[in-house]
């Protein structure tokens, strides 16, 4: 008797509050999940933050009526896994995306950080979850190099790309007391003292390391040391322990403003809109062009690859809405990010983009003895072949 | 300072208070860590106004760090690594029935420590962050080594055993993917070990479950019910060590400002300093000295203010909790960094104001809760012990949601029990475990940076700070070796003659 | 007294063994590893720790040997604290048995948490819902068994305390903190 009362009250609560339909399968778990969510929401309201929740509910109702009835998704809160620690580039963008996705999906998106091992631990966790579209993954560029670096067996093809997100431009910087004032001075000194100029980067196989390798390919040999994070590498330069580094612009912005560093060049073929004074690397070294037409720090939004197409479509539609949201575009501008999501809209161009990216980076790493396994083993062709 | 008050209103105060109460419970329940609670809060608060979110999180942070001492004192399970030192004197004190006194001292000095740290944050943030920037990779390694060398000496009679315990802790910290390259080390093909061994199961196992086993082992000798000594502690008596507490708070604040070292190292160094400076404590250190609790609590709470300094000015989190607070900033579109305090004064003021309110909440909650909560020790052991055992299980499960950690916890508990039987101290092991990864990566980075220099040794040890730290470490190490001790005494004797 | 000296030497040998084990592990892994730069090699640190451990264990053995000599020399009653429990045979055995039994109980508890899958059952009175599962059932049984084992003989205590505590734990953790319980 009690149980029946409980079930009916729970059902009533979730219909009135969350406005989601209770499906007939596995009623029991469904009900409790919905009920706890309802409780959460009421708590939120009691705390005075109810407006947001209510809006979300209305949004959900609109959304539910707007979409075709073929797929009932999402009906419960989603989890977004960030395979890096809190506060990094991936985390910042992931959380922003989560907040906005919530607005358009009408369900809460809980962000969880599962850091470690170049993001492979969190990615593996997502892979092990059911492919129901309730676990989302925001990954960085290391996803493309796990196999050749022998970190784990995952790659982009284990997931379905909802959309590439943004690229975070990398800037070559030296400390404010450094003897180098221009990129040319630094490069000359590197040429004169091969292997003596120190450079810090965010970790093996990461974007900073890849750039060091590109420098090596171009004939500038530097002594590279792997630091704990991009920010840590930057502090090494500011503290005067390292000669130069190449952080993402998002970590760097405050330091440029405070005058703690001298930005020498943006590691790309074009100058950045937000910082038109910083020259592009290709201006000094034109032969670097083939390496610089891809984003080095690249974030992507993924789900498991055997997720039903209907669900993928819902997520794609929602992310389209997010990318059009002024809050998102503002954020992109404020962080001087490279809006990769604008360039690759359809599946074919996304596929081509990732293939090209992998072939450049994986071969670069392999030929420099950074990657352990040949990209050929995994069917990655060398660029231009 | 009036600017700081401008962010305060009734709602803000209520938010801090709610956070404080939550922090009190979360910190006091073994296995639930402050960092876990803040992580939970982040997911709840990210749609809120940032001042509300910061208010609540600061409440949890400040009071949570203090209340880690509660379980350390009452049941010998530190709530977090930074409360490990509190067990050294706090638990013996409560075993003597003076749990109330221990909690009272912990409350008072946690309050002064937090206040000190936050004042430093408010007034000295920029200069302190400049000092932190001066620390090279080698300095961080040496600082950790210094901390470990100290721990070996404070917690045992036999220094060799203390150091071996340190080494075991370092080995445990090495399990999993290495911090720089992501290579699997010491995992022996066990998938669950790939992510490394988290601190919570170790802390809960080595302290909590080991305690369960040793109580069972000594069942016939110890009395089942501890008696409580009634009686008030006068404020004057408690405040006797205020001068020393200023010193230990300074240590706490400075060490806290160095990312990666944080509370555990600060409290060990402070404890050692207190031991060195107080020549004649009423009760010997390690058997319930009030000075010990004072040193540990004032320094680990002063760390809060310290750890916030690099987080706000350099975007480097000083410990796990500040790492989460950092993500709150990012979520709300705030970008910590060198310009942060100037550009976002109201966020900075919210943090300070929330911190100060939380300090007073700590004082009030601590004083209100202490006389009630200390009755826990009068619960008969044969009821308490099973409860502690099940708390150990939940705590170790909750940190990663996997049963593997529970199994690890049992294993650590058994090891901890055996270590106690053979007089190996557990505290150095925990500290080494917490610091291991940071020592490893800093050491390798230092070596790698030096390897391209003309004179590698000079580039590694040439900086003035490094020289000072190396000498300090060497002195601590040598002065504790029995043979050099004797030799020194001989030498001193000769000089006197 | 004699036992203690022996134990020092045995412990020393034990740690010496593990130190050497770690040394060889890091050397072998380094040999097999793909990265041949010592400065950034993941095995540099284990190597140093292994070395330090071996040295420390030598120290421990040395201490044991020295103490042994002193003991043999006659002035045996030194430093070693006399309060250490007199290791009287039968008594110690009984207690070790107790520890083993407690471990066994915990082991069963662990297995119960790992293997048993009791579906979620929701009990509710109007709007107050209470969900329980394997964790709650196993914990009640475990608490009662442990208490009984530790000598609690009062039936009401044995019945109500485990229920009360489990209820408290599950409400605090599952409902309020959203910790996933087994």
pLDDT in tens, B71-117: 888 888 887 888 888 888 888 888 888 888 888 889 989 999 999 99
What ipTM is given for this predicted complex?
A: 0.80
Nearest to residue A84, comparing CAs of B182, B445, B38, B137?
B182
- Mutation pick from C31, C33, C45 vs chain B, by most beta carbons of B within 10 Å, is C45
pLDDT tens-digit map of A235-279: 888 888 889 998 888 778 778 888 888 888 888 888 887 788 888
Q: Hunting for tokens 């309060």 — which residue is that?
A: C83
Please report, for chain C, the start and end positions of each structural domain, with discontinuous segments joined by +: 2-73, 89-176
Q: Which helix (H) or strand (E) holds B192?
A: none
The distance of A29 to chain C (nearest Cα, Å) reads 8
Tokens for A43, please give them: 């708590």
pLDDT tens-digit map of B264-305: 888 888 988 888 888 777 888 888 888 888 999 999 899 988
Chain-chain contact of A9 with C127 (C-beta, under 8 angstroms): yes
User: What are chain A's partners, defined as 3 or more CB pairs within 8 angstroms?
Assistant: B, C
Tokens for A31, please give them: 């009900």
Whether the pLDDT of residue A32 is over 50: the answer is: no
Residue B224: which domain range? 2-496
Q: Is C126 on the interface with A (CB under 8 A)?
A: yes
Please tell me the pTM assigned to this model.
0.77
> In chain B, which residue's Cα lies nearest the Cα of A194?
B452
Alpha-carbon distance B380 to B383, whole Å? 6
The distance of A9 to chain C (nearest Cα, Å) reads 6
What is the count of structural domains for chain B? 1
Chain-chain contact of A226 with C34 (C-beta, under 8 angstroms): no
Q: What domains are there in chain A, each with its CATH number? A: 2-62 (no CATH), 78-167+299-378 (3.40.190.150), 171-292 (3.40.190.10)
Q: Is C34 on the interface with A (CB under 8 A)?
A: yes
Cα–Cα–Cα angle for B298, B112, B121, rounded to 5 degrees: 90
Beta carbons within 10 angstroms of residue A122's beta carbon: 22
Q: What is the pLDDT of residue C179?
A: 58
Omega within 30 of 0 (cis) for the link into A74: yes
Give the pLDDT band (50/70/90) at residue A383: low
pLDDT tens-digit map of B423-480: 888 888 888 888 888 888 888 888 888 877 777 777 778 788 888 889 888 888 888 7
**Bigger pLDDT: B376 or B55?**
B55
Whether the pLDDT of residue A204 is over 90: the answer is: no
Chain-chain contact of C126 with A372 (C-beta, under 8 angstroms): no
Beta carbons within 10 angstroms of residue A376's beta carbon: 13
Chain-chain contact of B447 with C46 (C-beta, under 8 angstroms): no
Of C34, C40, C120, the CB nearest to A29: C120
Of A52, A121, A258, the CB nearest to B338: A258
Of A7, A32, A226, the CB nearest to C120: A32
Q: Is C129 on the interface with A (CB under 8 A)?
A: yes
pLDDT tens-digit map of C92-128: 444 677 788 888 888 888 887 777 666 666 666 555 5
* Mean pLDDT along residues B5-10: 72
Q: Note whether B213 and B79 are within 8 A (CB).
A: no
Alpha-carbon distance B209 to B197, whole Å? 17
Share of chain C above pLDDT 70, in %: 64
User: What are chain B's partners, defined as 3 or more CB pairs within 8 angstroms?
Assistant: A, C
> In chain C, which residue's Cα lies nearest the Cα of B401?
C180
Residues in contact with C31: Cβ distance below 8 Å, sequence separation at least 6, in sequence order: none
């Amino acid at each position: 008797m009690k149980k029946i009362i409980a079930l009916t009250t729970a059902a009533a609560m979730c219909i009135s509050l969350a406005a989601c339909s209770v499906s007939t399968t596995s009623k029991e778990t469904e009900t409790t999940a919905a009920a706890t969510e309802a409780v959460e929401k009421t708590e939120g309201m009691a705390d005075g933050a109810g407006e947001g929740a209510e809006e979300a509910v209305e949004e959900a109702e609109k959304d539910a009526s707007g979409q075709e009835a073929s797929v009932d998704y999402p009906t419960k809160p989603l989890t977004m896994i960030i395979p890096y620690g809190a506060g990094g580039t991936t985390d910042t963008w992931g959380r922003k995306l989560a907040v906005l996705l919530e607005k358009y999906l009408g369900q809460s998106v809980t962000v969880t950080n599962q850091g470690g091992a170049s993001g492979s631990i969190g990615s593996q966790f997502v892979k092990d979850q059911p492919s129901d579209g309730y676990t989302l993954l925001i990954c960085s560029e290391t996803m493309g190099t796990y196999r050749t670096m022998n970190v784990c067996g995952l790659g982009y093809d284990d997931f379905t790309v909802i959309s590439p997100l943004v690229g975070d431009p990398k800037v070559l910087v030296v400390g404010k007391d450094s003897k180098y004032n221009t990129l040319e001075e630094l490069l000359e000194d590197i040429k004169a003292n091969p292997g003596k100029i120190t450079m810090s980067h965010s970790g093996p196989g990461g974007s900073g390391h890849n750039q060091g390798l590109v420098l090596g390919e171009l004939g500038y040999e530097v002594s590279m040391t792997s630091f704990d994070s991009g920010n840590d590498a930057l502090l090494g330069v500011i503290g005067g322990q390292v000669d130069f580094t190449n952080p993402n612009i998002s970590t760097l912005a405050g330091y440029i403003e405070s005058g703690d560093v001298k930005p020498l060049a943006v590691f790309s073929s074009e100058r950045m809109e937000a910082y038109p004074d910083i020259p592009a690397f290709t201006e000094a070294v034109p032969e670097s062009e083939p390496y610089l037409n891809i984003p080095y720090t690249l974030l992507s939004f993924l789900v498991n690859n055997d997720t039903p197409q209907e669900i993928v479509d819902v997520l794609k539609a929602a992310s389209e809405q997010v990318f059009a949201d002024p809050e998102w575009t503002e954020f992109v501008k404020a962080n001087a990010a490279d809006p990769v999501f604008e360039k690759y809209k359809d599946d074919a161009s996304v596929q081509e983009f990732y293939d090209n990216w992998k072939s450049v980076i994986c071969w670069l790493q392999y030929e420099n003895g950074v990657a352990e396994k040949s990209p050929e083993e995994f069917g990655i062709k060398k660029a231009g072949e | 300072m009036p600017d700081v008050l401008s962010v305060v209103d009734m709602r803000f105060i209520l938010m801090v208070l709610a956070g404080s109460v939550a922090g009190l419970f979360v910190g006091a329940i073994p296995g639930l860590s402050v960092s876990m609670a803040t992580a939970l809060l982040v997911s709840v608060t990210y749609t809120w106004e940032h001042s509300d979110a910061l208010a609540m999180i600061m409440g949890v942070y400040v009071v949570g760090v203090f209340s880690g001492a509660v379980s350390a004192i009452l049941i010998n399970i530190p709530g977090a690594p930074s409360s490990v030192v509190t067990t050294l004197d706090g638990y013996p004190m409560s075993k003597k029935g003076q749990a109330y006194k221990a909690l009272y001292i912990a409350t008072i000095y946690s309050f002064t420590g937090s206040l000190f740290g936050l004042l430093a944050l408010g007034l000295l943030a920029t200069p302190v962050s400049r000092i932190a920037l001066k620390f090279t990779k080698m300095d961080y390694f040496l600082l950790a080594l210094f901390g470990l060398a100290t721990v070996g000496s404070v917690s045992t009679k036999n220094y060799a055993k203390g150091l071996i315990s340190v080494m075991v802790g370092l080995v445990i910290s090495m399990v999993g993917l290495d911090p720089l390259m992501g290579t699997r080390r010491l995992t022996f093909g066990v998938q669950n070990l790939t992510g490394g061994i988290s601190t919570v199961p170790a802390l809960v196992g080595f302290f909590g479950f080991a305690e369960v086993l040793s109580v069972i082992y000594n069942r016939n000798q110890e009395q089942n019910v501890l008696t409580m000594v009634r009686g008030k502690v006068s404020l004057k008596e408690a405040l006797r060590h205020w001068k020393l507490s200023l010193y230990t708070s300074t240590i706490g604040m400075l060490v806290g400002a160095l990312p990666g070292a944080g509370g555990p190292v600060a409290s060990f160094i402070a404890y050692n300093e207190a031991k060195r400076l107080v020549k004649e404590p009423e009760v010997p250190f390690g058997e319930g000295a009030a000075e010990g609790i004072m040193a540990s609590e004032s320094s680990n709470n002063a760390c809060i203010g310290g750890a916030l300094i690099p987080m706000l000015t350099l975007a480097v989190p000083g410990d796990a909790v500040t790492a989460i607070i950092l993500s709150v900033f990012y979520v709300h579109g705030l970008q910590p960094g060198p310009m942060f305090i100037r550009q976002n004064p109201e966020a900075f003021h919210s943090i300070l104001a929330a911190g100060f309110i939380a300090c007073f909440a700590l004082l009030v909650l601590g004083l209100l809760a202490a006389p009630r909560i200390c009755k826990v020790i009068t619960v008969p052991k044969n009821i308490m012990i099973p409860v502690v055992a099940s708390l150990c299980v939940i705590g170790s499960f909750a940190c990663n949601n996997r049963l593997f950690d529970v199994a690890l916890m049992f294993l650590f508990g058994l090891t901890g029990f055996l270590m106690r039987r053979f007089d190996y101290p557990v505290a150095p092991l925990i500290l080494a475990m917490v610091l291991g990864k940071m020592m490893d990566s800093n050491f390798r980075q230092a070596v790698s940076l030096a390897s391209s220099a003309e004179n590698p040794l000079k580039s590694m040890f040439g900086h003035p700070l490094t020289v000072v730290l190396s000498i300090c470490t060497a002195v601590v190490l040598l002065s504790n070796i029995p043979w050099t001790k004797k030799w020194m005494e001989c030498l001193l004797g000769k000089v006197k003659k | 007294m004699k036992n203690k000296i022996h134990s020092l030497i045995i412990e020393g040998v034990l740690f010496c063994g593990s130190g050497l084990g770690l040394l060889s592990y890091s050397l072998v892994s380094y040999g097999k590893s793909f990265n041949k730069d010592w400065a950034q090699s993941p095995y540099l640190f284990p190597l140093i720790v292994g070395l330090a451990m071996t040295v420390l264990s030598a120290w421990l053995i040395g201490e044991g040997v020295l103490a042994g000599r002193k003991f043999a020399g006659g002035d045996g009653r030194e430093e070693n604290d006399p309060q250490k429990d007199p290791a009287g045979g039968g008594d110690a055995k009984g207690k070790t048995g107790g520890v083993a039994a407690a471990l066994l109980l915990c082991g069963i508890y662990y297995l119960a948490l790992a293997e048993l899958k009791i579906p979620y059952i929701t009990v509710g009175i109007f709007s107050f819902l209470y969900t329980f599962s394997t964790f709650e059932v196993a914990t009640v049984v475990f608490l009662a068994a442990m208490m009984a084992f530790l000598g609690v003989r009062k039936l009401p205590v044995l019945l109500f305390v485990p229920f009360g505590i489990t209820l408290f734990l599950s409400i605090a953790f599952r409902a309020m903190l959203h910790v996933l319980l087994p």
